[in-house]
Chains A and B, each alone.
Chain A
Amino acid sequence: MRITLVSIHVENQDRALAFYGDVLGFVPKMDIPMGAYRWLTVVAADRPDGPELVLEPNAHPAARAYQDALLRDGIPMNSFEVDDVDAEHRRLRERGVEFTRPPSDAGPVRIAVFADTCGNLIQIHARRRAG
């Protein structure tokens, strides 16, 4: 048994691909039409065979309720690892991304939180360097 898919609910798959692809820099991997929706996944640019993030439509009312409640309370849906949280924060801010939490230390990691334009908050984290 392996973990190869991780899913995140999104409001609109076109907008999701624009954000996760063009803004965050992930690379589209699967894009298969499924009725009104698509089986749509992206991977990290430097890990083409790594886990795929499924950009899953939030068509089910329960998915929307779950997203709404976490977003409103400021709780991230997932956390992506980066090399340098501050550098990513600067890069994404320049692309117009809205951060709800600027880079800050949290125990062994440095984190920041931003809105993904699809109804979720996403955290980025990097291990803090020793010293």
Chain B
Amino acid sequence: MIARSRGESWRRLCDLRVRLRDRCAEALPLDALGGEFGLSGSRFLRRFRAVFGATPHELQSEARMARACALLRESTLPVTEVCLEVGYRSLGSFSAAFSRRMGCSPRAFRARAAGGQRPDSPHDCFARMC
């Protein structure tokens, strides 16, 4: 369904970005998203990047990694289940993507977090100044 007005198109673009972040495990037809906005693939990607600074695929990957970090740090889920939980179907591709972004394997990340190092923190900078 193609958005009818400029306002509706804007809201749907915003909703898509929230969905990529908050429901990051969902498989989305990332290559076909432009159709929903009545735009060709390349024009859609240009518009999305102009608004959000990254492609839908990049934002989804970032959200998946952030969620994986939280699960590795705060849960006891086995790495295989963390992988499935954030939307990857193969452990190999999850581990490769994780290592590329975080500089260590999911297992090493968990061990480091358990060792008291906090490689990632949910606190804002302002909160840290207190």
Contacts and interface: CB of A to CB of B under 8 A. Distances in A.
Report the interface size class on chain A.
Answer: 20 to 34
Interface stretch (B36-44, B45-53, B90-98): B45-53
Given A72-B15, A96-B50, A98-B47, A35 B128 contact: yes
Interface of A is mostly: mixed
Interface string B105-122: 000000000000011111
B25 to A, nearest CB: 17
A12 B118 contact: no
Contacts of A72: 10-11, 14-15
Nearest to B46: A96
A59 B53 contact: no
Contacts of A96: 46, 49-50
A56 B53 contact: no
Contact of A12 (B18, B53, B122, B128): B53
A8 to B, nearest CB: 12
A11 B18 CA distance: 12
Interface string A1-35: 00000010001100100110000000000000011
Contacts of A119: 52
A36 B52 CA distance: 21
Q: Pick the 5 closest A-B CB pairs, nearest first.
A: A117-B53, A98-B50, A72-B14, A115-B51, A35-B121
Interface of A: 7, 11-12, 15, 18-19, 34-40, 54, 56-60, 63-64, 68, 71-72, 74, 96-98, 100, 115, 117-119
Interface of B: 7, 10-11, 14-15, 18, 21, 46-47, 49-54, 62, 118-129
9 contacts: A15-B54, A35-B123, A56-B124, A56-B126, A59-B123, A60-B124, A72-B10, A96-B50, A117-B50
